[in-house]
Structures are given as C-alpha cells and as structure tokens.
Amino acid sequence: MEPNLLKGHLDLILLAILESGPMYGLEISKQAQQETDGYFDLRVGSLYPALHRLEQAGWISGEFRPAPRGGAPVKYYWLTDEGRGNLKRKREEFRVFSSYIQALGS
C-alpha cells in the first residue's frame, strides 16, 4: 500500500477497527491485517502516535489492563461517543471522495 494513502486515512481505519470493541495495539494491527488480507500493515511507528493523537482528541479512550496471556499490562483502546460520531462523518467523507475519484475518467 502507498504509505501516503495509509497516512491520510489512518484515523478512519483505527476508528473503524475499534468500533467492534476494546483492543490493544497488537490486536488492532492484527485485525487490520486479517480483515484486509494484509493490505493494511500498521507499523508501531505510525500506530501508537495515531492512537495517542486520537486519545488526546477525545475520540478514543484507553486504560492499562492485564495482558491476555499474562505479562506486563497492555493499554486497551475503545471508541468514545465523540469517536463514534467522527467515524460516521469520516466514513461519509470517504464515500463522497471515493465516488468522485471513480467518476474521473469514466
């Protein structure tokens, strides 16, 4: 995938993944890969700064919880009500954008 495309849509991708419920970083990355046959490969260098930014914006919340298989606690993230509203808005923006891209050269 073109890195600039991912960067431009990372918020939408993360919000959409977290719509299904609380997850920690590695789960989010794996979910993105599984649901897109590996098309979205979210790297630590972009994933955690984006999660932090979304948390600062109030679109997601997070807290440390015990790791599923023991070990150090991991930070779980989930959508806030504001995040759900922004997910809906971003999906619509993307739908409109995509429709105009499809119209070019048709």
pLDDT band at 80 (very low <50, low <70, confident <90, very high): very high
* Mean of pLDDT values over 81-94: 97
**Domain 3-103, CATH:** 1.10.10.10
Q: Residue 18: what pLDDT?
A: 98
The whole-model pTM stands at 0.90
pLDDT band at 3 (very low <50, low <70, confident <90, very high): low
Q: Residue 70: what pLDDT?
A: 85
- Sheet with 23-24, edge to edge strand ranges: 23-24, 74-79, 60-65
Residue for token digits 């984006």?
50
Q: Where are the domains of the chain?
A: 3-103
pLDDT tens profile 15-49: 999 999 999 999 999 999 999 999 998 888 899 99
Strand-pair category, 60-65 with 23-24: unpaired
